[in-house]
Amino acid sequence: MPKTPRIAVLGSINMDLVVRCAKLPMPGETLLAESSSEICGGKGANQAVAAARVGGDVHMIGRVGSDAFADRLVENLRNERIDCSNVQTTGNSSSGLAIVGVEESGQNSIMVVPGANGELSLEDVEKARPAIESADVLLVQLEVPVDTVLASIQVAQKAGVKVILDPAPAPMDVPEPLLEVDLLCPNESEAEALTGIHVKSETDAIQAAAKLQSCGAKSVVITMGDQGALLLDEAGNQMVNPFPVQAIDTTAAGDAFAGAVAVSWAQGRPLHEAIRFGNAAGALAASRMGAQPGMGTREEIEKLLETQ
Four-CA torsion 123, 129, 135, 138, nearest 10 degrees: 30
Nearest to 275 by CA among 215, 216, 235: 235
Packing angle of the helix pair 271-286, 298-305 (nearest 10 deg) = 110
Contact yes or no for 119/144 (Cβ under 8 A): no
| Torsional sign, CA 153, 156, 157, 158 | positive
What distance in Å separates the CA atoms of residue 54 and residue 10, rounded to the nearest whole number? 18
Sheet architecture: strand order including 183-184:
83-89, 57-64, 6-10, 137-140, 162-165, 183-184, 219-223, 229-233, 236-240
182 is catalytic: no
Q: Which of 67, 136, 204, 255 is catalytic?
A: 255
CA distances from 283 to 54, 115, 199, 279 (A): 14, 30, 20, 6
Q: Cβ contacts of residue 160 below 8 Å, gap of 6+? A: none
What distance in Å separates the CA atoms of residue 91 and residue 130, rounded to the nearest whole number? 25
Contact yes or no for 261/202 (Cβ under 8 A): no
DSSP summary character for residue 92 = T
Which letter, b or e, does each residue of 265-274 get, where b requires 16 or more Cβ atoms within 10 Å of its Cβ? bbbebebbbb
**What is the pairing mode between strands 6-10 and 57-64?**
parallel
Q: Which active-site residues does the annotation give?
A: 255
